[in-house]
Structure 1
């Protein structure tokens, strides 16, 4: 980069860079979860079962999982600003190919590229807050960045679902491509140079697991996310078949779910900075009541919608709460974040696959109860962990 372009970047407020990273995460999570809202439409159009259509979530999740630790290792000394921009350009290509795919299996190939983009981007973006803003502004920056996840639920997935319902599911994927291109330009313009402070190596990734706090964060994340996506991947048929909600209303209800998720993210950003242990513990405890209670009390539209809103608020708090835990315990933030991104995305794919097999085998209610069992295990894991492990300030290493 030339000296004049470097001066231009340093003159930009760091919050523009934070905003660009947030939008990038927003689009990536939207791309990953959009098939949830379009599941029935794509399954009918490409003549596959709902369980098989769930592979649209499984494939990018698994690919993202392995991309998260391996891409930072592969790129070595590459400036992280360059890497984030390239990952968004890869999302542009993946979105265009998804819109043009002539068969379900070609669509899955495009979804694999989505996974590569998600894994590479998230492995770097999750730990950027301490590098972009002053130490006292890190909790706020994390809330903004991970607000992209909740915003994907409140805006990306519901609006993509509505766009697909009003026009065609291919149009929704094409729209993602256009927005990703604009975001790639914003990342290049607004982020400063981000040379790796300590390049990630495979040995460094393994070393993170020697720290108990990191191990617990990783295991808790796995249990929570597998349970979440075993159940939530099939929220459209759950709302229709268990709660009696008409299919035409599903997109609007996902919008409400996402709105609750944004509120949960903001609340967690305020609370988790002071009480990360309690914030993480509350998540599985409430999910046990909500998801486990769906087949029992969510059998009418009103009660199903009420449970859906609580579900959205709780899961909206997951990313910022667990990331705060990780910053308090990880010896190397970038390496630990790559490891967390592996677990998070692998668990999304595993959860969707697990849920798909259960839905086709034992039905929706059995799938929700299986997810509840994973939330119980997650709560027990946190309870067995001493809260003193989190008694330090957020790390800026990595």
Structure 2
């Protein structure tokens, strides 16, 4: 086995669960900060003298910087104690929120959003490897479930809460409202996170080492089609529900809330359901979510059917991250930071790719073509994943 780039000394026999909860809150704040502009685009554009389309790029730029940071963080951070890195990233998130809240122009807004992208890419790249050090191996899936629970909560409530508060305190007030929570989270990190020293500096050559491993390379390809399928559908869910299901704004909000709430349940259950045979779980995201998308093409005209299918889809959407990160923690456990960086970069790129493919199909034909394209990508993901055995680390590497 290759030398691990950090000490694997157990923090405590029972694990440092306070630190896990602190990371879960950090995830919630990252997701809320990243996607809050979705519900505030119009007032933000008016306040900054920009077009709505330009302001929408505030979301895209954070994603682009997240991809770049996810690939560079392990090298740039070098041998810096990982507790220090997480504290710095959380402090940068706080600064980003202040910059956005005070932004006098569109250019300053974009700078603040780029800074947030650095936080997103850096945190997600290191998160799984840090959890592997905070809790016993058997509890890693449960810890991942708790962390992604923060993502599910933020995804469910950030947009509607932002829209509601925006009408009361204005869009700047919404970003100011997040700052005390992030400041509290920063203090919690300082108190709860143990020292996480790094003994070996990673380099870009480490990515080459990982990509030469057939099981990991095949896993990345499966991840590309799995996330690509999910976001080809999810990015264009609203036009589908409006055109095919025929819902108005109020019912649309209810359906999206159902999807987000189910995501919280999915993250909680998946953390407990992932057992020793992780390969059996790998096909479930593409199978279940692709199946729900296919069923929506048939029964999406019914509000009840759409709601039920979206609940199942939403639960598996968050479970998907727990399942695949658990796979990484067990099959690339000697280089988890570099593996996490590659996975985050591939996932972010797949999300962008899914949006491009879905938009092309929508403009060329219809939203049903977009959903059909999502199903096709899910089928390809299933073909690559197979039984999951070909994605397991060979025993010779153990």
TM range (shorter): 0.7 to 0.9
Corresponding position: 1:300 with 2:307: no
* TM-score with structure 1 setting the length: 0.84
Name structure 1 gaps, 5 residues minimum.
Answer: 1-8
Please name the residue that 2:374 is paired with: 371
Distance 2:182 2:378 in 1: 34
* TM-score with structure 2 setting the length: 0.84
Please name the residue that 1:4 is paired with: none
Deviation at 1:97, TM superposition (A): 3.2
Corresponding position: 1:185 with 2:187: yes
Corresponding position: 1:337 with 2:340: yes
Note if contact 1:36-1:236 (Cα within 8 Å) is conserved in structure 2.
no
Q: Name the SS for the 2:185 alignment partner.
A: helix
Deviation at 1:224, TM superposition (A): 2.0
Shift in alpha-carbon separation, 1:378–1:31, aligned structure 2, 3 A: farther
Match for 2:89 among 87, 97, 102? 87
Deviations 1:116-148 (A, max 9, x none): 110111111122122112334333222222322
Please name the residue that 2:69 is paired with: 67
Please name the residue that 2:52 is paired with: 48
Residue range with higher mean Cα deviation, 173-182 or 67-76: 173-182
Where do residues 16-27 of structure 1 align in structure 2 (5 Å cutoff)? Answer: 16-27=18-29
Deviations 1:278-336 (A, max 9, x none): 22201101121222333432123323222221110110111110011112211311211
Please name the residue that 1:381 is paired with: 384
CA RMSD of aligned residues (A): 3.1
Note if contact 2:15-2:136 (Cα within 8 Å) is conserved in structure 1.
no
Note if contact 1:55-1:353 (Cα within 8 Å) is conserved in structure 2.
no
Distance 1:263 1:336 in 2: 27
Distance 2:26 2:204 in 1: 26
Note if contact 2:331-2:393 (Cα within 8 Å) is conserved in structure 1.
yes
Note if contact 1:60-1:112 (Cα within 8 Å) is conserved in structure 2.
yes
Note if contact 1:143-1:265 (Cα within 8 Å) is conserved in structure 2.
yes
Q: Name the SS for the 1:139 alignment partner.
A: helix
Deviation at 1:24, TM superposition (A): 1.0
Residue range with higher mean Cα deviation, 265-274 or 71-80: 265-274
Please name the residue that 1:322 is paired with: 324
* Number of corresponding residues: 382
Q: Name the SS for the 2:114 alignment partner.
A: helix
Deviations 1:26-70 (A, max 9, x none): 221233333455567768985435xx7664443222221110120
